[in-house]
Every structure is written in C-alpha cells, then in structure tokens.
Structure 1
Amino acid sequence: MTRADPPGTAARRAALRLLDAVLRKGLPLEAALDTAARDLDRGDDRAFAHAIAAEALRRLPDLDALIDGATRQNLPHDAKARFALRIALVQALALGTPPHAAISTVLPLVDGGPRKLVHGVFGALMRGGARLPDVPTLPDPVARRWEKAWGPDAVAAAARLIAAPPPLDLAGDPPGDAEGFSLMPGHLRLPRRTQVAGLTGYGEGAADGSGRWWVQDIAAALPARLLGPGEGRAALDLCAAPGGKTMQLAAAGWRVTALDLSESRLARLRENLVRTGLEAEVVAADLMRWAPGRPFDAVLLDAPCSATGIFRRHPDVLHRVRPAAIAELAEAQKAMLARAAAWLKPGGTLVYSVCSLEPEEGERVADAAPADLAPAPIAPDLLPAGLVPDGHRLRILPGALEAEGGADSFFMARFVRKSGG
C-alpha cells in the first residue's frame, strides 16, 4: 500500500521544479511557473510554490552555507537532497512555516538514503538554532561583478534590497482608495504586499476614468517621462509589451505606435489599453526587420536586457545571467539603437533604457550611439528628489531612494537627432 503524501506536498514539488528550472536549466522563474505548477489546481498553492522558490533564490548562498555546515561532505549543487533542504529550510527560517510541516512535505520529494539525510540535516539545524542573516548574501560572481562596476556600497545596498519584496508602485491616475505616498506626479507608492486586485478600476473598463492606472516601479516610469508632453505628436515605443510605457506616453498626449515581437505579451498590452481607456497603434513585429514607413517625433527604446536591475522582484536573475549573455545582449542593443535612431525626425528625441546593472548594457551601449544622435541633457525636475542625472544620462544604483522603499536599478540616456542627420 502506497502511503499518501502529506497535504501541501504538491506545492513543494512545484517549488522544486521551479528551482531546478532556474538553477539547472537557466530559465526565468516566471516563464517556468506554468510547467512547474501543472499539478496544482488551487491558486494559493501556485502562489505558495512561487513564494518558496523566490525566497530560496533570494537566500540561496545562506541556505547552502547552512547545509554545507551540517554535512560531512558537501552535497552536489544539483543534488535533489540539497534542493529539498533548501525548500524545507527557507520555509522554516524565512516564511514562517512550522518546522514539522516544512520537513514532512519535502521528504516525499526524495527517496532512499537521501530521505534519511534530509531529515537528519534538517533536524540537526533546527535543534542547533539555525537562522538566516537579516541581510542576505549575494552570489559571489554577482557581488564581484557589481563591486568592480559600482563599488562595495552598491553591493551592500543590493543585499539589503533583496531581504524583502519591494513596495508596489502605481502610475497614471491612481484610484482614491489606494493609500500611500507620492515620489513624483503621477505616481503612488503603496505598502508592501498591498493587494492591487482590490483597488477601484482593477480589471474593469475606464469609462469613468477609474481604471486609468497601472503597476509600474518608479524607475521604470522615468524613461517615458524624459520624452515630455506629446501634444499630439507621434511617438514609437519599441519592445513595448506589457504596456506601462505605452500607456504613459498615451496619457501624456502622444500618438503612440507600440511595437513588440511577442504576440502573447501584446495581448496583455491591448487588455491594458482597454482597461485604461487609452489608445495606441499596436504592431507585432521584429524591430530589426520592421520598416515604419514614416519618421517619428520621439522614440523610446526600452531594450531587451539581462534584467539584473530588477533582481529584488526577480531574484532568479542573480543565478542564471552569465557574462556571455550580457555581452550578447549588449551587442543586440547597439544594433537596435542604430536602427531606432534612423526612424527619428531631425530634432526628435530618443530615449534608450535598460533595467540592467551591467555597464556593458547601459553606459557602453550609449557610448556607441550613432553619430547623428546628440546628447540631450536630462532636466533634474523630471526626476524624483534624490535622483541626479549626469548630463544626458541617469544611472539608478541599488540604494537609490532606499529610505522611501528603494527603486529598481536602471540606466537611461536621452538624445536628439541632429538636424540634417
């Protein structure tokens, strides 16, 4: 007779699949979720599996240090026993799961000798009063890379930032029942773990204007602001989905063409436009093959990148992004920037941005901008207090706006096309 798994085991099994997808296969956490959670019928089980995996990725070096300190011989990093211990420990030490529930629901994930090992190591750590540090440890390759680029203070700030999920930012015209504070016009910062689904205008049309808002970190809201008011002029939003910047531009009075390669992500953009009552021409195409047929007054290139700047929301990037991928993405961005510049009217404005902490993707790409693009200084009054531009560039590092809850790490540069170029 087969013994039934304890309730909750399925969610832990999904969490193990998620960790395996990120750490062994190099997949993004969000992209792996549907497959990993295929056996889960309940939404809260799916959310819990995601929470376990995300928190384990935030704390992975510290979890592994505990495991290695309690075993005579280090387990292979891809051993199922190590994965099971990570899942049990992060529940007991970071998510508030009672230890007996944390261990009983992961033991079915391992068989034979490893099962006894997992039970013994977990028990020894619990009896010994194991705990995780208040400030997580960054993976060594990431810490070394960022310290070389930005210095030890930025690395320390990044470690502090991943200790807790970030606050929730709303852009546009936030609903009256949303309680928070503003760092700049058109922005509202809500407390951590606010349930956005309960706010007025969520998931409904905007005939009365109640839905003209969207979730968007304050750093992600800045590139579109650098283009200024539209006043009926034409703007091209490249790599536009899921639509936050498109909606910003439309709300600021631009006639927006929103282009993206992904049909599925554009479906979400269209849904957001319907909900907010904003308008844009939506185009599904590869920008390296597409030809617009007309120039634009403004172009926003929020380029595909390593996304290492949004590590506090997506901790998987700390473990799966490698220097080779960063270099490849940087070369693609240079090509995109050159192509986008050709679609700009003389005197028009182009903003290039990336949610990356890698100078190869930000500063070095801006250094290689086409010769017919001239630097256009960023006015400080376009930015929240505490962020200071460097001429036509803005680099947001970990630690920026930390007292207010922090911001994602971004790079952006503003150019104008030279007359006659």
Structure 2
Amino acid sequence: MAKVQGLPARAAALRMLDAVLRRGETLEMAERAHAKGLTPSDRGLARAIASETLRWLVDLDALIDSATKQNLPHDAKPRMVLRMMLAQVLRLDTPPHAAIATGLELLAGGPRRLAHGVFSALVKRGVSLPAVPTLPEPVARRWGERAAPIAAALAEPPPLDLALGDRRETDRWAKELGGMTLAPGHVRLPRGTAVERLAGFDAGAWWVQDLAASLPGRLLGAGEGRTVLDLCAAPGGKTLQLAAAGWQVTSVDKSLKRLDRLVENLERTGLSAEVVAADALAWKPGRTWDAILLDAPCTATGTCRRHPDVLHRIGPRQIEEMAELQAALLDRAAGWLAPGGTLVYATCSLEPEEGEARAAGVALDPLPVEAGELPAGLAPTPEGWLRTEPSMLGEAGGIDGFFAARWRRS
C-alpha cells in the first residue's frame, strides 16, 4: 500500500472516518489511534481529509447519490472513499488524478470500477459544493432557527487563537506575530500556522486557547493571591489563564494523560498550580476556595468548526448523559465554595440542556455578566449569562460556541 505516494495519509483518514462514523469515537481519539507513525505532513493531511469530509458529509453524499442508479449503503467502503476523493478535490485542491490513484488503491480487491466511474462522472460534470455546509437533518432540527447562521460559520475551519501570559504585552505580540487582537491577552492568527515555530512558544509567552474558551476565566477577574479551584482542568488552558491572572490555582482532573499535558504547559510557561488527579464526583478535599471554575465535560457541539465530528456523533442520548453529569458536578462544586466566593460554570456546547437549563437550577446568588467584561461584539443574555455561537464575530473569524454563568455565595 505505502508504495503509492500519499497513500498512508489517505489510509489513515479512512480509518479515522470509520472510527468516527461507525464507532462514535471523537476525531482526536481516532487520529491518535490511526495516524501513529505518519510524518507530520502526512498526519496533517489525514486530519484535513477527515475533517473536510465530516464538515461537508451531507453535501458529498448528495453528489454521490446523484451519480448512482442505486444509492450505496451509508457505511459502505466505496461511499467512504468517494467522500474522501471528492473532499480532496473540492476542498483541498487535490488534482483529480491524485485522488483517483490513492482512492482506488484503498479499494483494492473491491468495486474500484464503480468508484472510478462515479468520481469521473462527477468531475466531468464540474460539480461543486454549496457555499454553506448542509447540516445533518437531526442537528438542523435540534438547533431550529439557530441552525442556518451556525452552518454558515462552519464553511471554513477557524483561525488560531493564542492566550498571552501577560496581558500588558498584547499589542507587542499581535505585531510580532502578525495577528490581530479582540481582547486584552488575546492574539488571533490565520489557520494553518505551525504553533511550535512561532516566536514566544519556547519562552512560554502564550498558549493556544480559543477566545470563547478564555471568557469563563475572564469572568473571575484578577486573583490577587486568592484561591481558585479549576475543576475538570486538563489540558490546562484555563489553569494557565487563572495562574497568569494572579490566582492560587488547584487544578483537578481524573485523566492522568491530560494532566501530563497540563503539567507540560505549566513548565513551558513558568506558571504554577497544585495539580490533583481525582474524580470530582468522588473527591473529598475537606476545604473551600474563594472561586471555582467548572468547565464541565460536555458534548462539545460548540467546537463544531474545528471538530466537525460532533455533527455526526452527538444526539439526544449523549446530551442527556452529559446534562446529568453536569448537574452532579455543579452540586459538588457549590459545596466547595467559600462564603462570598464566586462560581463560574461553563460548557463548550450549543445545547440548552447543557447550558441554560443547568444554570436555571443553581441555588446561589446570581452574579450577572456585564457587557464591559466581554470583547466588543459580544453581549450578555437577558438573564445575565453568556452565550456565544460560531456565527458571532464573523468578520473577525468567528468564535466557538460556549455557555457561561456566574454566581456568588452569600
């Protein structure tokens, strides 16, 4: 197989797609499992093919069905390979002959003639994809009138956001890195930037963190030496953010692998935190904190721009399971909050069950989000909560979907 140039990346992309669509794995999990051993460029290509296939899956299937007398089964290997071939040509500017050479090799011993005929017919017709990806029908129905603007924001992968360790250096780093800034301590760069090669990486001057992901931590303000508990903390963006803001941070997560990454980021940035490996539902710390940030496990549908697999993996069952977990974690977190302390709850989900519905049941004093705490172009909800969607800040490159709410213990 590997004798055909570019084939290892395509073979990895095929396995990744199979893991996502048939087994319900996240794209990140699939990449770790099936892109091992690839060169960095091949790994990047495999990820790009899989991502664009998932982003445009409904539209790619419509093209394939338009060129077949009898629709191929949804999970048939020829359909999967045709999706990849079309995604490469229509989204990644791959020459058709390269897509054919690698695609047909993936079907060795299978219906290569069928795949070749369908692909060639579509290329000869000069087919194209719509300007906006079509959402899977269950997703469009679930999101209702919000679906159209969210879909429009999915047409392109998102830019790269960096969070700075020193907010006072915002203008300097924006200029040095050739980016733009939407808030103090934030720099946005074009997608595709090689992070490890950027100035300031080795010195730990910044870390990768979507602007939306930084907003919950911003709602706690300056630490001034006070204590904060970062629950479900790994891989550590919010821990770094809170430590840089002057908080004494205790970071808790049950994933040892993800905590290793958090520790690596602390070492690179020179920031400090107490790191605890524990399941928050069973942990008994025996103390309280001045502030708590619970960025709870969720379906992550708000990250659909960068993780289009969530469009195909997440449904009512997963949403219900996450909502139950979030409610339990909120109950635990509230019990660890000192008198006068502040609790921020957040999820990177677009589902009301994981955001608004959870916030409505918290028995603490509301501490509404103020417009002045948010980047220009964002505003609190009438309830004093924060809700971002991918369609917001569109001219500046968009933003992930997030929900956050804040309370104080009297």
Q: State the alpha-carbon separation in 2 of the partners of residues 192 and 31 from structure 1.
A: 21
Seen in structure 2, the aligned counterparts of structure 1 residues 7 and 156 have a Cα distance that, compared at 3 Å, is same
Task: Tell me the alpha carbon deviations over residues 293-326 of structure 1, each in whole angstroms, 9 at most, x when there is no partner.
Answer: 2110000000000000000010000001111110
Question: 2:48 is matched with which residue?
Answer: 51
The yes-or-no answer on 1:309 pairing with 2:309 is: no
**Given residue 100 of structure 1, which amino acid in structure 2 is its aligned partner?**
H
Question: 2:288 is matched with which residue?
Answer: 295
Seen in structure 2, the aligned counterparts of structure 1 residues 80 and 342 have a Cα distance that, compared at 3 Å, is same
Question: 1:409 is matched with which residue?
Answer: 401
Q: Per-residue deviation at 1:5?
A: 4.8
- Of residues 136, 145, 155, the one that matches 2:147 is 155
Counterpart mapping for 1:313-392 below 5 A: 313-369=306-362, 371=363, 373-390=364-381, 391-392=383-384
Task: Tell me the alpha carbon deviations over residues 213-237 of structure 1, each in whole angstroms, 9 at most, x when there is no partner.
Answer: 1111111000011111111110000
**Given residue 63 of structure 2, which amino acid in structure 1 is its aligned partner?**
L
**Given residue 338 of structure 1, which amino acid in structure 2 is its aligned partner?**
D
Q: State the alpha-carbon separation in 1 of the partners of residues 285 and 154 from structure 2.
A: 41
Task: Tell me the alpha carbon deviations over residues 316-344 of structure 1, each in whole angstroms, 9 at most, x when there is no partner.
Answer: 00001111110010011001001000000
Q: State the alpha-carbon separation in 2 of the partners of residues 29 and 211 from structure 1.
A: 28
Q: Per-residue deviation at 1:34?
A: 2.5
Seen in structure 2, the aligned counterparts of structure 1 residues 179 and 4 have a Cα distance that, compared at 3 Å, is closer
Question: 2:96 is matched with which residue?
Answer: 99
Question: 1:207 is matched with which residue?
Answer: none
Task: Tell me the alpha carbon deviations over residues 21-60 of structure 1, each in whole angstroms, 9 at most, x when there is no partner.
Answer: 000000000111132224x442211111111000100110
Q: Per-residue deviation at 1:113?
A: 5.5
Q: Structure 1 stretches of 5 or more lacking a match?
A: 205-209
Q: State the alpha-carbon separation in 1 of the partners of residues 343 and 33 from structure 2.
A: 39
Q: State the alpha-carbon separation in 2 of the partners of residues 137 and 217 from structure 1.
A: 24
- Of residues 19, 32, 35, the one that matches 1:34 is 32
Percent identity (aligned): 61
Question: 1:184 is matched with which residue?
Answer: 183
Q: State the alpha-carbon separation in 2 of the partners of residues 196 and 34 from structure 1.
A: 19
Question: 2:86 is matched with which residue?
Answer: 89
Q: Which moved more, 1:396-405 or 1:87-96?
A: 396-405
Q: Which moved more, 1:180-189 or 1:407-416?
A: 180-189
Q: State the alpha-carbon separation in 2 of the partners of residues 309 and 114 from structure 1.
A: 38
Q: Per-residue deviation at 1:112?
A: 4.5
Q: State the alpha-carbon separation in 1 of the partners of residues 91 and 30 from structure 2.
A: 23
**Given residue 383 of structure 1, which amino acid in structure 2 is its aligned partner?**
L
Does structure 2 conserve the Cα–Cα contact (< 8 Å) formed by 1:308 and 1:317?
yes
Q: Which structure shows the higher helix fraction?
A: 2
Q: State the alpha-carbon separation in 2 of the partners of residues 75 and 342 from structure 1.
A: 54
Task: Tell me the alpha carbon deviations over residues 238-259 of structure 1, each in whole angstroms, 9 at most, x when there is no partner.
Answer: 0001111001111111100000
TM-score, length-scaled by structure 2: 0.95
Q: Secondary structure at the match of 1:106?
A: helix
Q: State the alpha-carbon separation in 1 of the partners of residues 34 and 268 from structure 2.
A: 30
Question: 2:198 is matched with which residue?
Answer: 199
Does structure 1 conserve the Cα–Cα contact (< 8 Å) formed by 2:8 and 2:38?
no
Task: Tell me the alpha carbon deviations over residues 171-216 of structure 1, each in whole angstroms, 9 at most, x when there is no partner.
Answer: 12464621112111111111232222221231x3xxxxx4231111
Does structure 2 conserve the Cα–Cα contact (< 8 Å) formed by 1:260 and 1:285?
yes
Q: Structure 2 stretches of 5 or more lacking a match?
A: none
Q: State the alpha-carbon separation in 1 of the partners of residues 2 and 265 from structure 2.
A: 44
Does structure 1 conserve the Cα–Cα contact (< 8 Å) formed by 2:2 and 2:8?
no
Q: State the alpha-carbon separation in 2 of the partners of residues 227 and 4 from structure 1.
A: 52
Q: State the alpha-carbon separation in 2 of the partners of residues 113 and 232 from structure 1.
A: 65
Aligned residues: 402
Q: Per-residue deviation at 1:136?
A: 1.2
Question: 1:164 is matched with which residue?
Answer: 156
